Structure 1
Amino acid sequence: MAIRVVLVDDQALVRGALAALLDLEIDLTVVGEASSATEAIALAASVTPDVVLMDVDMPGMDGIEATAALRASGSTARVLIVTTYGRPGYLRRALQAGACGFVVKDTPARLLADAVRRVHTGMRVVDPALAMDSLIAGDSPLTAREADVLRAVLDGGSITDIAAAVHLSEGTVRNHLSNVIGKTNARNRADAARVAQENGWL
């Protein structure tokens, strides 16, 4: 019996390319495609896939949050993260959220198909270079609150705007920003947000 696969990516062209590649494999069949996390969770409930190929960078709920939500929904599908962004922090967060594998989108088609098979059998599949980068980078040095503040920094705006967005006082926001600038060895809050994002800590 063929392994039932659902593809989740906000870019139709990427979904189409992945579907075409996977459908060439006689033991894999794409049973659905979703363009958002919300759509993916509903689709997984209706078509009961064996494996979900999940992008990370999507508007609204990202693929890592969607993986956790899929687990919480009771779905038995195994999630394989397939992303353009091979960031060490993303790998850690994805595995913590319940993903069974993590590969980058430039993985050769043969290896991607093999990753789907291995995840389906219960194995964990992780891009080896990314695994090494993750070990070197270590865990995120940011607290949950510091990460919230930096996410608000990415939206731009003043300290007042950031404080309102994260429901903290301006003084507390300044303290958090001072901490994260030190932890990331950044020049300013925008640079700290960039460093944190590039490492997949946000």
Structure 2
Amino acid sequence: MIRVVIAEDQGMLRSALGALLDLEEDITVIGQAENGKEALELIQQHQPDLCIVDIEMPIMSGLEVAEQLKAKKHPCRVVVLTTFARQGYFQRAVAAGVQGYLLKDRSSDELTNSLRNIMLGKREISPELIEIVWEEKNPLTSREQEILLLAEKGLTTNEIAGQLFLSSGTVRNYLSEVNSKMSTSNRLEAIKIARSKGWIIETP
């Protein structure tokens, strides 16, 4: 029996997915979470074989769940089920060691077959995502991503510097480097491009 935890912030979709999987004779849903933090708690409590996570969830994203499980060397397999076929998300998921990266428009039969294959040790990736492997990698460092996220919230250079314990000049240098890497002329343009490519991500 494949024991599954589902982490999805949309209640109706989470319930529908749980009901669908419970119809399978060899799959049972042992927990449902509306955010990544709850998912980790359920995983620690129930020790499932597999956790299905959405990417953008409150408190903690699905990618952060995968990264924490990898850091702890937890045996629970992680499957990302998302609407986002973004290069940055996909590359981060692969780096986090996820066993599956699937799009939500898959049929129920395709999904359940993928889960079974993952339990056999295979990696399942939606065909639409294969081309992403050949796209450019995220050029931003973790610090540059962090600064862009704060800038996206409307913080000024001085406010970003204060929050990160950096000098204002250092923050300006980081932003200048970001614009250079991305061939943009200002932070707003850089934020827009980074978001569209999935190079920056933060839970709501």
TM range (shorter): over 0.9
Paired letter, 2:165: H
Paired letter, 1:50: D
String of CA shifts for 1:128-184, please: whole Å, max 9, x gaps. 221212322x21111222111111112112111222233221111111111112222
With normalisation by structure 2, the TM-score equals: 0.91
Which segment drifts farther, 63-72 or 79-88?
Answer: 63-72
Equivalent positions of 1:96-135 (< 5 A) are 96-135=95-134
Partner of 2:55: 56
Equivalent positions of 1:1-202 (< 5 A) are 2-136=1-135, 138-202=136-200
Contact 1:3 1:28 in 2 (8 A): yes
The 2-side partners of 1:192 and 1:134 are apart by 22
Which consecutive residues of structure 1, in runs of 5 or more, have no partner in the other structure? none
* Post-superposition offset of 1:186: 2.5
* Post-superposition offset of 1:74: 4.4
Contact 1:181 1:189 in 2 (8 A): yes
The 2-side partners of 1:187 and 1:21 are apart by 48
Paired letter, 1:171: G
Contact 1:19 1:30 in 2 (8 A): yes
With normalisation by structure 1, the TM-score equals: 0.92
Contact 1:48 1:75 in 2 (8 A): no
Paired letter, 2:160: I
Which segment drifts farther, 186-195 or 70-79?
Answer: 70-79
Which consecutive residues of structure 2, in runs of 5 or more, have no partner in the other structure? none
* Post-superposition offset of 1:58: 1.2
Matched position secondary structure for 1:157: coil
CA-atom RMSD in angstroms: 1.5
Contact 1:10 1:58 in 2 (8 A): yes
Matched position secondary structure for 1:103: strand
Contact 1:68 1:97 in 2 (8 A): yes
Q: Report how many aligned residue pairs link the two structures.
A: 200
The 1-side partners of 2:73 and 2:34 are apart by 21
Matched position secondary structure for 1:75: coil
The 1-side partners of 2:159 and 2:130 are apart by 37
Matched position secondary structure for 1:139: coil
Matched position secondary structure for 1:91: helix
